[in-house]
């Protein structure tokens, strides 16, 4: 917005958006064909799942995919994966190691006492600690 010589404000209109963004939840490609979706449904049932939502956690599907919406590339990849697992058989799938995420250990602060009861502290000490942490403390 600029001000002209006559005091009137003038608006400057620039070119469109600099970056083209994809809408939230939209697929990044053409949708899967109905034949691909049917093949996925049959492979999921053969793997022991009732539908896409049931298989979401086990296969790592997104919410969009759990609703049965896939791109052609996603459907091709998932079909290949399910067919490969079906060829390996149920015995080899169960033998795969299960990897679980672990939290790193929290560093121990030696300046703080551990496993102490709050009953052993006076009200003034507890109030001072709360104030130090940003709380507002007042008497009832």
Kindly give the confidence (pLDDT) of every residue in the chain, 140 residues in length, as a single tens digit, with 9 standing for 90 and above. 555 666 666 655 555 555 556 666 566 788 999 999 999 999 999 988 888 998 888 888 888 888 989 999 999 999 999 999 888 875 554 444 444 555 566 666 666 666 667 778 888 888 998 889 888 888 87
The contacts found for 29-32 with CB under 8 angstroms, 24 or more apart, are 29/71, 29/72, 29/73, 29/74, 30/71, 30/72, 31/69, 31/70, 31/71, 31/72, 32/69, 32/70, 32/71, 32/72, 32/74, 32/75
Q: Give a yes or no: residue 134 inside a domain.
A: no
Nearest-angstrom CA–CA distance, 53 and 64 = 10
Q: Give a yes or no: residue 114 inside a domain.
A: no
What pLDDT is recorded for position 43? Answer: 92
- When divided into structural domains, the chain yields a total of 1
Q: Give a yes or no: residue 25 inside a domain.
A: no
What residues are paired with 9 via a beta bridge? Answer: 3
Q: Give a yes or no: residue 22 inside a domain.
A: no
What pLDDT is recorded for position 98? Answer: 47
What pLDDT is recorded for position 80? Answer: 93
Q: Give a yes or no: residue 117 inside a domain.
A: no
Q: Supply the range of the domain harboring residue 76.
A: 34-94
8 A C-beta contact, residue 55 and residue 49: yes
Q: Give a yes or no: residue 120 inside a domain.
A: no
Nearest-angstrom CA–CA distance, 5 and 1 = 13
What pLDDT is recorded for position 137? Answer: 87
What pLDDT is recorded for position 37? Answer: 92
Nearest-angstrom CA–CA distance, 44 and 68 = 12
What pLDDT is recorded for position 26? Answer: 66
Q: Give a yes or no: residue 87 inside a domain.
A: yes
What pLDDT is recorded for position 122? Answer: 87
């Amino acid at each position: 917005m600029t001000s002209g010589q006559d005091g009137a404000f003038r608006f400057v209109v620039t070119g469109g958006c600099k970056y083209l963004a994809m809408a939230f939840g939209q697929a990044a490609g053409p949708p899967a064909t109905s034949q691909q979706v049917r093949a996925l449904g049959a492979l999921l049932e053969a793997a022991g799942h009732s539908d896409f939502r049931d298989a979401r956690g086990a296969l790592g599907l997104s919410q969009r995919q759990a609703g049965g919406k896939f791109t052609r590339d996603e459907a091709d990849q998932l079909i290949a994966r399910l067919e490969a697992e079906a060829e390996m058989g149920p015995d080899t799938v169960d033998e795969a190691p299960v990897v679980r995420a672990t939290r790193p250990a929290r560093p121990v602060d030696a300046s703080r006492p551990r496993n102490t009861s709050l009953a052993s502290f006076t009200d003034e000490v507890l109030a001072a600690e709360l104030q130090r942490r940003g709380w507002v403390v007042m008497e009832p």
